[in-house]
Amino acid sequence: MIETDVIIIGAGASGLMCAIEAGKRGRKVLVLDHANKAGKKILMSGGGRCNFTNYSIEPSNYISSNPHFCKSALSRYTQWDFLALIGQYRIPFHERDHGQLFCNESARDILDMLLAECDKADVVVQLNTRIDSVERPADRFHLKTSKGNFSCRSLVVATGGLSIPKMGATPLGYKIAGKFGINVLPTGAGLVPFTLQPEDKEKFSALSGIAVPSAVSNKRQSFSGNVLFTHRGLSGPAILQISSYWRAGEEISINLLPQVNLDAELKAKRQQKIKNKLKTILEGYLPKRLISAFLDENLLDLSIQDVSDKQIMQVASQLNNWTIKPNGTEGYRTAEVTVGGIDCDAVSSKTMESKQVPGLYFIGEVLDVTGWLGGYNFQWAWSSAWCAGQYC
Ligand code: FDA
C-alpha cells in the first residue's frame, strides 16, 4: 500500500488545479486518471483554443439546484486570478463576443501551464490507471487500482461529467458519492444540439449550414446568438445555451429576426405603396432558402400590396415567433457539459468537502453546477478546485 496525503481522481481541468494548490501547501499529491493523457477536454475545448474564462462571471451564469452554492468559490478564485496565472506564463489570448477569452495559439498552452505548475508543486500525475475500488475502513481512503493499492487522508473526486464518453467520461464520481450515501441529482446532457421530429427534420434539412442571429427562449430563459441548421437538427450558440434549460417534450420559441418587428415592417412597406413581392422584401432580411422552407411559395409570390393583415400576421408569427418542439438532444455523445450531478447541499461551498464524509471532496463538473457557454465551465473548474486545494 503506497501512502500519500491527497489523491485526486481525474487529471482534467479541476483535478490539475486542485493538485497545484494542495501541492503548494506542501501536501504530497497523487493524481490518478484512467486516460492516456491529462486534460483531454482542455485540448479539445473552444475549437482547440480553449475558452478558458470570461471577463464577466456571475452566479447567474450557472445552473444548479442550489443557486447560492457557487457564489463563494467564484468570489474567492476569480477570472482575474486565473488571468494573473496566464500572465505569468505569458500566454497570448483574445476576447470574443460576450467577454469570452480564448488562447491566441492553442489550448495546449493552458494544459502545459497546469502541468508545469504541477511539476513545480511536486505533484505526481499517474495516467492509464483504472480505479477498481474506493474504501474508507477508518479515517483514510484505500484505493485499489490497476497500478497498485494506495492510501490517502484526503480524496478529491474530479472525474467531470458524462459528456463525450469517447474522451474518457465515466460515472465513477457519482458512484463514489453513492457508495458513501451522498445524494446525486439526476443528470442530463447540456450545451448540446437538438434533434428534430421526423417531419421537421425533413422540412428543414435543406437548410443545413445556414446560421441566423436569433433570440431563443423557453418559459424560463432566453438567449441571443446564432441558430445553426444542421443535417440532424438545430445547433449554434443560442441553441446550445437553451438546451441546458430544456425539458423533454417542451416547446422552444425562436425569433429569427429579433431586431425587426416584421408585422409593423411589412405593414409599413404596404403603406408606402411599394410593389415588391413579399419574397423580395423578406430576402432583404433572411436567406432565400430559409424563407422558402418556412413560407408557402404562392404567398411569397404575392405583391406586398396584395398581402392581407392576416397573412402578414402569419408571416410575422412564423419568423418572429417560430415555435418548435425538439425531438430530443444529441445526448452525451456531443454535449459539452452534464447538467445535474452531486447534490451541492451535501458539500461545503467553502471547502468542497462532503458534509457527511470527512476528507472526501468533490470539484468541477461532477458537482451539480453547470455553466453557460462562454468559459463559465472552466472558471467553475478553476474556482472550485482552488477552494478544495486550500483544505484537502
Ligand atoms: P474533466 O472532464 O476536465 O476531467 C475529468 C477527468 O477525470 C478526465 O481526465 C477523465 O479521464 C477522468 N476520469 C473520468 N472517469 C474516470 C475514471 N473512472 N477513472 C479515472 N479517471 C477518470 N468549457 C469552457 O468553459 N470553455 C470551453 O471552451 C469549453 N469547450 C468544451 C468543448 C467540448 C467539446 C467539451 C466536451 C467540453 C467543453 N467545455 C468547455 C466544458 C469543460 O471542458 C468542462 O466543464 C471541464 O473540463 C470540467 O472539468 P473537470 O475537471 O470537472 O472534468
SS (H, E, C) 237-249: HHHHHHHCCCCCC
In terms of Cβ atoms closer than 10 Å to its own Cβ (0-12, 13-18, 19+), residue 97 is exposed
Beta strands 124-126 and 29-32 are parallel
Q: Tell me what ipTM this predicted complex has.
A: 0.99
* Nearest ligand 1 atom to alpha carbon 379: 25
pLDDT of residue 347: 98
Question: Which one of 3.40.640.10, 3.40.630.30, 3.90.1300.10, 2.40.30.10 gives the CATH number of domain 193-329?
Answer: 2.40.30.10
* Nearest ligand 1 atom to alpha carbon 168: 11
382 and 375 Cβ atoms separated by less than 8 Å: no
CATH superfamily of 2-188+340-389: FAD/NAD(P)-binding domain (3.50.50.60)
Q: pTM value?
A: 0.97
Q: Which residues line ligand 1 at a C-beta cut-off of 6 Å? A: 9-15, 33-35, 40-41, 44-46, 50-51, 131, 158-160, 163-164, 168-170, 172, 336-337, 364-366, 375-378, 381
pLDDT of residue 101: 98
In this predicted model, what pLDDT tens digit does every residue of 267-287 receive, in sequence order?
Answer: 999 999 888 999 999 999 999
Low-confidence ranges of the chain (pLDDT < 50): none
Place of cell 444540439: 193
Domain spans of the chain, in order of start: 2-188+340-389, 193-329
7 has which bridge partners?
A: 30, 155
Pocket test for ligand 1, best of 52, 63, 132, 159 (most atoms within 8 A of CB): 159
Residue 381, SS3 per DSSP: helix
pLDDT of residue 273: 85
pLDDT of residue 14: 98
Rg of the Cα atoms in the chain: 25
In this predicted model, what pLDDT tens digit does every residue of 142-177 receive, in sequence order?
Answer: 999 999 999 999 999 999 999 999 989 999 999 999
Question: Sign (positive/negative) of CA torsion 283, 284, 285, 286?
Answer: positive
361 and 326 Cβ atoms separated by less than 8 Å: no
pLDDT of residue 66: 98
